[in-house]
Structure 1
Amino acid sequence: MTMVKDLPVDDRPRERLMAYGPGILSNAELLAILLGSGSKEKSAMQLAQDILSQHRESGVLALATMSVEELMEYKGIGSAKATLLAAAVELGKRLGLNTTVQKPVVRCPADAADYAMPRLRFQQREHFAIILLNIKHHILSMPIISIGSLTASVVHPREVFKAAVQNSAAAMILVHNHPSGDPSPSKEDLNITRQLMEAGKLMDIPVLDHIVLGDNKYISLKEEGMIQ
């Protein structure tokens, strides 16, 4: 077995990163740096290549959907490496959500979908969140209210409006993902939307829309005329 330390200096991922910057490295090389070491049978580079080769269709994006437990199924990845990889992936997601210092503003459903997509697109269970807005429709935060099964999440109005009140929100947009990749809203989606819209009227925190996310696509219930 060829270990990373046995490779010529110019072929070692860490040395290449230091010499040329991270942009020149392949996905396998970047993953190998995070892994740090492999197993007795495989180097970190070989282990990284094995992981990526088992996910040829999605490639490095597969890491965004893998749990710590799934990562630990690979020989050579223990809890320490698995949690490090999970943390790195989460940082990448958060960086994608914070591309500007100024708070993003929601002018149309696409703005809300663009904000929520990086965080929810790769979730393997249904996540129900709310995009909280101030009076000028700048985004205050997007708390996750409920995490459900592959096909459904349970949403309690009290939790929705508790988060809205705590953040002094003037309005909100409901958003959740469909792990199937198909954003078509279900009957339950429509029912909970109407229920929360009625509660919003009582609380004086209007529910402006409900965005259902699929695989890099979305449906706005407001835009589709499914809610008024």
Structure 2
Amino acid sequence: MKLNDLAHNQKPRERLLSHGASHLSHAELLAILINTGSKGYSSLDIANELLKSVTNLKELKHLSLNDLNKVKGVGIYKSLILKAAFELGERMHSGSIDDKIQVTSPKDVADFMMGKMEHLTQEKFIALFLNSKNIIIKQKTIFVGTLNSSIVHPREVFSEAVKCASNAIIVLHNHPSGDTTPSEEDIKTTDRLRICGNVLGIEVLDHIIIGDHTYLSMVEEGYFDNSPPIHI
């Protein structure tokens, strides 16, 4: 059935006006973004084709422009609109440095970074740099790949901390498996960074591991209860 054949009050835009966005299906919301049909396909038909190309809704944001363009009826113009919408949604979910996030607990960090990291297919090690009021002033990706204490060098972390006059740092990385249990390398990396931070007077406040819509704070789990060893 073409979108024009639907009753007026059944069309996605009219349903949004009358019932609100929360009452619309995934396909209807996508149809509103897609806006117009193409060659016998309504915007709702195209939206359903797009949803069939992924196994779950979260995968949409990982589709490239080329992936989107391959879906029948989408085309490059609609691909650009969809990609922009997915990116904006991720930024709204994750926040940005412009939001002046003040860290009062590990949950603040998890809320800030979860949307950016929980569905990554590779491990990514990120440092957050905080000022004297524990407001995040900068973030930097230090390493992408399997975490290894010999690869994540403190020099890369603390040279950036010095450049932006950071008083403290919080480091994070994700586990693509979804399991947030720290590995031996996670613990070694954390201890090594804490040693260097103590020497430089830039405290490592926490190491947070992001899993599948969950997180682990090494501070909350007691890994920071004792001072790090003198040598690693």
Cα distance in 2 for residues equivalent to 1:73 and 1:165: 46
Match of 2:220 in 1: 223
CA distance in 2, matches of 1:81, 1:152: 38
Is the Cα–Cα contact under 8 Å of residues 147 and 186 in structure 2 kept in the other structure? no
Match of 2:2 in 1: 3
* One-letter code aligned to 1:10: N
Counterpart of 2:43, as a letter, is A
Higher Cα Rg: structure 1 or 2? 2
TM-score of the aligned structures, taking structure 2 as reference length: 0.78
Verify the 8 A CA contact 2:49 2:72 in the aligned structure 1. no
| Conservation of the 8 A alpha-carbon contact between 1:65 and 1:122 | no
Tell me the distance in 2 between the aligned counterparts of 1:65 and 1:185: 26
- Consecutive unaligned residues in structure 2, runs of 5 or more: 227-232
The alpha carbon displacement at 1:69 in A equals 3.9
Report matched runs for 1:7-22 at 5 Å. 7-18=6-17, 21-22=20-21
Count of residue correspondences: 222
- Superposition CA RMSD, Å: 3.0
Q: Is the 8 A contact 1:179 1:214 kept in 2?
A: yes
* Candidates 124, 128, 131, aligned match of 2:125: 128
Superimposed CA distance per residue, residues 80-104 of structure 1 (whole angstroms, 9 cap, x where no aligned partner): 33332222122112222349x9733
Give the whole-Å Cα distance in 1 for the aligned partners of 2:128 and 2:105. Answer: 13
Match in the other structure for 1:47: 46
Q: CA deviation at 1:45?
A: 0.5
Provide the identity percentage. Answer: 41
Moved over 4 A (4+): 18-21, 53-56, 151-154
Q: How much has 1:139 moved relative to structure 2?
A: 2.6
The answer for the alignment partner of 2:210 in structure 1 is 213
Secondary structure, aligned partner of 1:184:
coil
User: 2:112 aligned with 1:115, yes or no?
Assistant: yes
Deviation at 1:210, TM superposition (A): 0.6
DSSP 3-state at the match of 2:137: strand
1:217 Cα deviation after fit = 1.5
Q: Which amino acid aligns with 1:200?
A: G
User: Unmatched 5+ residue regions in structure 1?
Assistant: none
Change (3 A) 1:80 1:125: farther
Q: Deviations over 1:94-145 (max 9, x none)?
A: 222349x973332332332222212211222222212222212223343333
Q: Please, what TM-score do these two structures have when normalized by structure 1?
A: 0.79
- When residues 204 and 194 of structure 1 are mapped into structure 2, their CA distance, relative to the original with a 3 A threshold, is same
1:210–1:84 Cα change, 3 Å: same
Question: CA separation in 2, counterparts of 1:172 and 1:75?
Answer: 46
CA deviations 1:180-221 (Å, max 9, x no partner) are: 211122232223222322332333222121100101111222
What amino acid does structure 2 have at the position aligned with 1:4?
Answer: L
- Partner Cα separation in structure 1 for residue 77 and residue 195 of structure 2: 47
Aligned residue runs from structure 1 range 198-209, under 5 A: 198-209=195-206
Three-state SS of the structure 1 residue aligned to 2:45 is helix
1:149-228 superposed matches below 5 A: 151-152=146-147, 155-227=152-224, 228=226
Q: Secondary structure at the residue paired with 1:208? A: strand
- Cα distance in 2 for partners of 1:110, 1:211 equals 10
